[in-house]
Structure 1
Amino acid sequence: MAASARWNHVWVGSETGILKGVNLRRRQATNYLPAAALRRDQGVCAMCWGDLAESEILVGCLDRSVKLFSAEKGKFTESRQCPGGEGPFCGLAVHDSSIITCVESGLLKVWQDASSENVEIQVGGGVCRMRQNPAWPLCVGTGGKENALKVWDLHRPEEPIFRAKNVRNDWLNLRVPVWECDLQFLPDSEKIVTCTGHHQVRLYDPSSPQRRPVLEVTYGEHPLTALSLTPGANSVIVGSSRGDMAVIDLRQGRLVKCLKGFAGSVRSIHCHPTLPLVASCGLDRFLRVHHIEEKRLVHKVYLKSRLNCLLLTSCEKWEDEEPELAAPQADVKEEEDDLWDVMETVATKAVPKRRVHPTGQEPQLDKRPKKQKRTSAGP
């Protein structure tokens, strides 16, 4: 199992608590289960890489446990409880040997080896997402429902280093509600892009004098639930609760293209750092990989469970990998195969062929009454 785990391209967490590794080259997936029996309260709600080599994965579950999965060993190796606050994990990150967690009630905590040195920050209730700045691991951003975007320095947790300001009132002079659903830091920059539950994409620049967004784009009519920056960070891909996914240009503030093929809410999006590929998953139980430039669906795998989050490996040469001799997994099928398997077999009777006249016309039945033979009666 260790070899198959090492060559997986996508890692997906499901509501049933299963970590699924998917090899896109062979279109196979493997279920990796924790030691305890599966329960609904072990559903995966947050994931992140445990190291830069992408050989370890941290999995945050609904029961407040954080499990460490080793891709080299192909199994879960460690588990620890992270109590405090209320609600599920809305963000998970790692820095050196410390784990950074944030729950829905607003408790952000840095779990170090010595429990007495743990750092706790109250970032406000209704948190939807916490993200780490890849260029500065001790800098995280938070946002949620009626909880505006904030950027925190974990070395100075007393006050946020940036606090966004709500946009101006609408044309009726009514306050615009705040609902930050997801966010991400732009590489080599202080800018932050967010998507809201009111179908808006906003770009913030903490280095500018204003705390309001420097760019705002409206897309669709449904809440935007997830986003990910494309390679080059010139565009962002957003997904909605209706199953729409689109590419938004952050330089011109316009819709570039739409990616199709979804049938449910999009829960997680992850773009490849260098290749024009984006992986997405959601409530329709499918893992999809699109080619961003060509707008085509490259891979589509049915994973049987409702999916919450995913990680896409940064490997670039998938086709040059060593092939493995592994038996196909029975728990992952394509959509068409799964549909035909659940259908019952119906026996049909053979219908005799109708005779056709040599002229190509069907023979006409003679409907005239037949003449009866006359019988002679004796004298």
Structure 2
Amino acid sequence: MEERSRLCSVWLGSETGILKGVSLARRQAFNFCNSSHLSRDQEVRVLAWADPGQSELLLGSVDGSVKTFSVEKGVFTDARRCGDAQEGCFTGLGALPGGALLTCVERGAVRVWREESAEPVSELSAGTSVCRMRPSPVHEQRVATGGKENGLKVWDLDRPGVPVFSAKNLRDDWLDLRRPHWVRDLAFVPDSDKVVTCTGHHQVHVFDPASPRRRPVLEAEFGEHPLTALALTAPGGGGGGVMVVVGNTRGEVAVLDLRTGRVCGALKGLAGGVRALVCHDSAPLVASCGLDRVLRLHSLQDRTLQHQVYLKSRLNCLLMDRRPLLGGGGGAGEEEEGEVKEEDEDEEVWGDMEQVEEEGRRKRKPVPLENIW
């Protein structure tokens, strides 16, 4: 497994608008950007593959532009306007068959774009305050959306008027008070129509569109802080069935069993809010990034830290590439002075440090009562 982790590479989008590529085989990090046009408007919010062969990347920026990056050439090949900053940032991005582009913004506009058209060919409204949109890997024309006070909905792009599935409100709590919605991230279960969501109220829900109840068929909780990201393991990749990896605003990451909802273990080492989690498609590995500016790669078998890279910028999103990144992707990538560490090296450094014992505090003599008066 360690050898397979070194063969893969990771692509990350940062707040500074830089696309970062990390080669685990060469222990190097590269920056891909036009430094003369960097600004806050170029912040990368979402990443997606443009084709099944993973030869091109799609980058969604805060200013509403979508850029195409060639992994083989290591250069940006195209850029187009697919939104407006007044509509909010991108919350989802994807590629459809035939070269079509799929986008979603915070105000709920889900649009399909064609290369030959400057205007979207179709559009649907998923409601306000959408936090995440993801396309289905099984049904090419289906997408799922969810957000703050905007429950999970599954849409058919061919029939955009009414959602195929709309989650029902959660049951009231034991005080008969309404339980609020806040879907922060979601994913389709592999080889299934089920959808997993994580919420801003530290909940994990599994929805089955085939269920007549329309409420979660599984409810679980983790921690006490809002969950911000999730990732599903490949079947059998986490050890016995599909598992879900969730992270929260405090940097806590855990692995949950979707069959029972029980926590199977925690991943250590994170020091800031988690913004993205991605599992390897065939190996038991999960990559994470967030506010602490560090990319980490953990093993799902023994939950040990395999790699970590400090990348100087706050990181918003990431993708894992099954191929190695050699020579900056074959293009004009500028090598970053990022530090790639191994867990064993960290343990060795801490092990060599001399242990310092703190001296006990001096005990103060009690003051006689007559001195107080």
Q: TM-score, normalised by structure 1?
A: 0.82
1:108 matched to 2:133: no
Structure 2 residues without counterparts, runs of 5 or longer: 1-6, 236-240, 343-373
- Equivalent residue, structure 1, for 2:350: none
Contact 1:92 1:101 in 2 (8 A): yes
Contact 2:184 2:228 in 1 (8 A): yes
Aligned to 1:333: 339
Question: What amino acid is aligned across from residue 144 of structure 2 in structure 1?
Answer: G
Deviations 1:67-97 (A, max 9, x none): 0000111100100001256110000011131
Q: Is the 8 Å Cα contact of residues 229 and 271 (structure 1) preserved in structure 2? A: yes
Check 1:275–1:162 CA distance in 2 against 1; reply closer, same or farther (3 A cut). Answer: same
Are the aligned partners of 1:248 and 1:256 in contact in 2 as well (CA < 8 Å)? yes
* 1:157-236 equivalences in 2 (<5 Å): 157-232=160-235, 234-236=242-244
Amino acid at match of 1:203: V
- 8 Å CA contact 2:30–2:334 kept in 1: the answer is no
Contact 2:307-2:340 within 8 A present in 1 as well: no
Q: CA deviation at 1:208?
A: 1.3
Structure 1 segment 1-379 matched on structure 2, within 5 A? 9-34=9-34, 37-84=37-84, 86-95=87-96, 96-112=98-114, 113-115=116-118, 118-232=121-235, 234-315=242-323, 329-334=335-340
Q: Which amino acid aligns with 1:191?
A: K
Structure 1: tracts of 5 or more residues without a match: 1-6, 337-379
Change in 2 beyond 3 A, CA 1:206/1:330: closer
Could you tell me which amino acid in structure 2 is paired with residue 89 of structure 1?
Answer: F
* Distance 1:249-1:328 versus aligned 2 partners, 3 A rule: same
Displacement of 1:36: 5.3
Secondary structure in 1 matching 2:141: strand
Q: Which of structures 1 and 2 has the larger relative contact order (alpha carbons within 8 angstroms, sep 6+)?
A: 2
What is the Cα deviation at residue 37 of structure 1?
Answer: 1.2
Q: Which amino acid aligns with 2:168?
A: K
Q: CA deviation at 1:64?
A: 0.4
Number of aligned positions between the proteins: 326
CA contact 1:280–1:288 (8 Å) conserved in 2: yes
Q: CA deviation at 1:222?
A: 0.3
* CA spacing shift, 1:51–1:27, aligned 2, 3 Å: same
- CA distance in 1 between counterparts of 2:143 and 2:334 reads 41
- Paired amino acid for 1:62: V
8 A Cα contact 1:8 1:21, kept in partner: no
The structure carrying a bigger helix percent of its residues is: 2
Q: Does the CA contact (< 8 Å) of 1:34 and 1:76 recur in 2?
A: no
Letter in 1 for 2:65: S
Distance 1:314 1:187 in 2: 18
**How far apart are residue 30 of structure 1 and its match?**
0.5
SS in 2 for 1:41: helix
**Is contact 1:28–1:328 with CA below 8 Å preserved after alignment?**
no
Residue type matched to 1:75 in 2? V
CA distance in 2, matches of 1:323, 1:118: 39
Task: Indicate the structure (1 or 2) with the bigger Cα radius of gyration.
Answer: 1
Percent identity (aligned): 54
The 2-side partners of 1:190 and 1:231 are apart by: 16
What is the DSSP-based 3-state SS (H/G/I as helix, E as strand, rest coil) of the residue aligned with 1:329? strand
Residues of 2 paired with 1:256 and 1:209: CA distance? Answer: 30
Alpha-carbon offset, residue 290 of structure 1:
0.2
Cα gap change, 1:169 to 1:330, in 2 (>3 Å): closer
Q: Are the structure 2 counterparts of residues 129 and 328 from structure 1 closer, same or farther at C-alpha, using a change threshold of 3 Å?
A: closer
Give the deviation of 1:335 after TM superposition.
7.3
